[in-house]
Structure 1
Amino acid sequence: MVVSHSPALARAAVDLALEMVGETPPPIAIAAGAGDGIIGTDAVKVAEAIDEVASGEGVLVFMDLGSAVLSGTMATEFMTTSDEVRLTDAPFVEGLIAAIVLANAGASLDEVDREARAALGPKRSQLADEGAASTAESTVAPAESAVAASDAVTAEATLVNPDGLHSRPAAAIVQRLASLDAKVTIRDITTGKGPVGANSLIGIMSLGAKQNEVVAYSATGAAAQQAIDTLLEMTRDGFGELAS
């Protein structure tokens, strides 16, 4: 659920996030502006939007500026849903994208909130600030230790798409693997970064893996081989980004 002072800003942020998912995104509602073209937020509208989007699995509320937080807090007194409603301090744009991708893959409220809060990690890492990069690595979804087991299915592949594992390929990986019974990690062999969980858009992006770098995929679980085969196919196809 998105709270913004500006309807145009809210709609643009949601539209950008929806570019990362398929035709059946998770429920999303917007409460933006104070009515009659006035910039601001309205707690009653926020409460109505929370009730609209509530589906029994919890509601995560994103807010753009300080008074939006106040409206979000007040709205919890007006709403009628019995769902857990959580106000997140995640970054408005990056967090919203991360949350929608993971929610679309069927993650829990806790998982979605954690992913959203870590959403600035890749940007910090890419800006090559050593202190910030270490923070990013500590906040991305941790790789499952079980993937390092001796029975893990592993494979290596070279990234061929021009922009490597940026946001769109990362989102595609999360969603393609979501239905498979497998725990998967990705490591950038070329740079030594990782491993990170393949169920985390933020984790994958934090690798900063570029074209011609070699990545290692590792998976355990009943569908481990299928997960690895899927990743290898996606990598060979350049995640759909190769010129025809």
Structure 2
Amino acid sequence: MTVRLVVVSHSAKIADGAAELAAQMAPDVLILPAGGTDDGRIGTSLEKVMAALEQAAGDGVVVLTDLGSAVMTAESAAEFAAGPESVLLADAPLVEGLVAAAVAAQTGADAAAVKDAAEAVYRPPVHPAEAEHVHQQPPDATGDFELVNQAGMHARPAAKIAGGLSGMDADVTVNGADGASMTELMMLAAGKGTVLHVEASGPDAAKAVGYLERLVSSGFGEP
């Protein structure tokens, strides 16, 4: 059973739209929107969020929110949930965080790893000068892979890379960008034909490079 996701927004349209977008990248993940008030106004509804958490109940639920009061509503709903310890709130931007979380859940990651995948897109990029000091030792595994999909490194490929790597015990860079950060990967603006240089260190280094090789060579499942 995959981790389930709940989207709490002040707007029903935003919650529905974000869930629809993420579902395109994670068809096997249950993503439940809980947006707006019970009477269709802008705001949040404790009852809506509680109902979504009840429907999502299982091995793990990760909740993403938009604005401050949505966080408070989600926290209150989690306290009333049948298994509050299985409900995790992610501190992440709603859309990017949800997409990254959905992709991580699709790969079978547990709730903690799904939450971390969502929050990874919020972390600021590492300054190049800092990176030089971090990578004093040569990487444990490397690879060079050419982008073959027509659209290159857009949101879906970036989410698949970041989501998959989030569950591995490895530090990975792709052309110098943090492989676990959807935002940094998208900022590469790498088009079709670009060669991605991958460096990985850690126990899962070879596994991570192999994962990237399969994704890139298959065109991320795109034309």
Alignment TM class, shorter chain as reference: 0.7 to 0.9
Q: Could you tell me whether the CA contact under 8 Å between 2:99 and 2:159 is conserved in 1? A: no
**What's the CA shift string for 1:120-142, capped at 9, x where partnerless?**
56xxxxxxxxxxxxx3237xxx9
Say whether residues 1:7 and 2:12 are aligned partners. yes
Q: Which residue of 2 aligns with 1:126?
A: none
Say whether residues 1:18 and 2:6 are aligned partners. no
**Using the alignment, how far apart are the partners of 1:113 and 1:144 within structure 2?**
26
Q: Which of the numbers 165, 168, 175 marks the counterpart of 2:153?
A: 165
Say whether residues 1:74 and 2:61 are aligned partners. no
**Using the alignment, how far apart are the partners of 2:186 and 2:56 within structure 1?**
28
Compared CA separation, residues 20 and 62, structure 1 to 2 (3 A)? same
**Using the alignment, how far apart are the partners of 1:178 and 1:69 within structure 2?**
24
Q: Which residue of 1 aligns with 2:126?
A: 137
Q: What amino acid sits opposite 1:211 in the alignment?
A: K
**Using the alignment, how far apart are the partners of 1:178 and 1:117 within structure 2?**
10
Q: What amino acid sits opposite 1:167 in the alignment?
A: A
- How far did residue 30 of structure 1 move? 2.4
Compared CA separation, residues 145 and 47, structure 1 to 2 (3 A)? farther
* Cα-Cα RMSD: 3.7
**Using the alignment, how far apart are the partners of 2:11 and 2:105 within structure 1?**
24
Superposition TM-score, scaled by structure 2 size: 0.72
The answer to which of 12-21 and 112-121 deviates more is 112-121
3-state SS of paired residue (2:126): helix
Say whether residues 1:43 and 2:46 are aligned partners. yes
**Using the alignment, how far apart are the partners of 1:170 and 1:31 within structure 2?**
26
Q: Which residue of 2 aligns with 1:187?
A: 174
Q: Which residue of 2 aligns with 1:112?
A: 114
Say whether residues 1:93 and 2:95 are aligned partners. yes
Q: Could you tell me whether the CA contact under 8 Å between 2:33 and 2:52 is conserved in 1? A: yes
Q: Could you tell me whether the CA contact under 8 Å between 2:23 and 2:31 is conserved in 1? A: no
**Using the alignment, how far apart are the partners of 2:204 and 2:95 within structure 1?**
36
Q: Structure 1: where are the runs of 5+ without partners?
A: 122-134
Compared CA separation, residues 110 and 16, structure 1 to 2 (3 A)? same
Compared CA separation, residues 100 and 145, structure 1 to 2 (3 A)? farther
3-state SS of paired residue (2:31): coil
Q: What amino acid sits opposite 2:32 in the alignment?
A: A
Q: Could you tell me whether the CA contact under 8 Å between 2:25 and 2:156 is conserved in 1? A: yes
Q: What amino acid sits opposite 1:24 in the alignment?
A: D
**What's the CA shift string for 1:187-227, capped at 9, x where partnerless?**
32xxxx24x44x66456435443333321245687994896
Superposition TM-score, scaled by structure 1 size: 0.67
**What's the CA shift string for 1:74-103, capped at 9, x where partnerless?**
223322224332333311111111111112
**Using the alignment, how far apart are the partners of 1:94 and 1:103 within structure 2?**
14
Q: What amino acid sits opposite 2:96 in the alignment?
A: E
Compared CA separation, residues 73 and 221, structure 1 to 2 (3 A)? closer
Q: What amino acid sits opposite 2:220 in the alignment?
A: F
Q: Could you tell me whether the CA contact under 8 Å between 1:184 and 1:227 is conserved in 2? A: no
**Using the alignment, how far apart are the partners of 2:42 and 2:72 within structure 1?**
15
Q: Could you tell me whether the CA contact under 8 Å between 1:105 and 1:174 is conserved in 2? A: no
- How far did residue 104 of structure 1 move? 1.6
Please identify the structure whose Cα radius of gyration is greater. 1
Q: Identity over aligned residues, as a percent?
A: 37
Compared CA separation, residues 96 and 211, structure 1 to 2 (3 A)? same
Q: Which residue of 1 aligns with 2:59?
A: 56
* Paired positions, count: 212
Q: Could you tell me whether the CA contact under 8 Å between 2:113 and 2:166 is conserved in 1? A: no
Q: What amino acid sits opposite 1:67 in the alignment?
A: S
